[in-house]
Structure 1
Amino acid sequence: MDIAIEKVESKGIEQWIVCTGSLKMSFNDQPSAMAFSSKLKERVEAPHSLPVIKSEAFEQVTELDCII
């Protein structure tokens, strides 16, 4: 996942934007933007396990009838 930090200035006000995909978060200072992006990267790169869904619904279908 790409995470970018941009400095934006509008009407004399400095803001820092953290961008990743379609997510854009604005911060009033660079340290806050850096801390957020660091924590986001840490969480995205952390190991994740996929949930196991036990369902008999898939086991009940043994044959599909197709009408043409």
Structure 2
Amino acid sequence: MDISIEKVESKGTEQWIVCTGSLKMSFNGQPSAMAFSSKLKERVEAPHSLPVIDSGAFEQVAELDCVK
């Protein structure tokens, strides 16, 4: 996942924008933007386990009249 930080100045005020995909979050200071992007990257890259699906669930779905 690509995460970028942009500095934007408007009317003498600077803001920091953290962008990833279509998500854009604005922060009043660079430290806040850096902390957010660091935590976001950490969470995205963390190992995630996939749920275990009981194989019997597939048999039940096949038995439904609406599934052919």
> Structures share a fold, TM > 0.5?
yes
Alignment-mate amino acid for residue 18 of structure 1? V
Provide, for residues 2-57 of structure 1, a one-character-per-residue CA deviation record: whole Å limited to 9, x for no partner. 00000000111100000000110000000000000000000000000011233744
Q: Distance in 1 between matches of 2:16 and 2:52?
A: 40
Would you say how many aligned residue pairs link Structure 1 and Structure 2?
64
| Aligned residue in 1 for 2:23 | 23
What is the match of residue 4 of structure 1? 4
| CA RMSD across the alignment | 1.8
* Separation (CA, whole Å) in 1 of partners of 2:55 and 2:26: 43
Match in the other structure for 1:59: 59
Higher helix share: 2
Amino acid at match of 1:51: P
Which structure 2 segments of 5+ residues have no match?
none
Provide the TM-score with structure 2 as the length reference.
Answer: 0.82
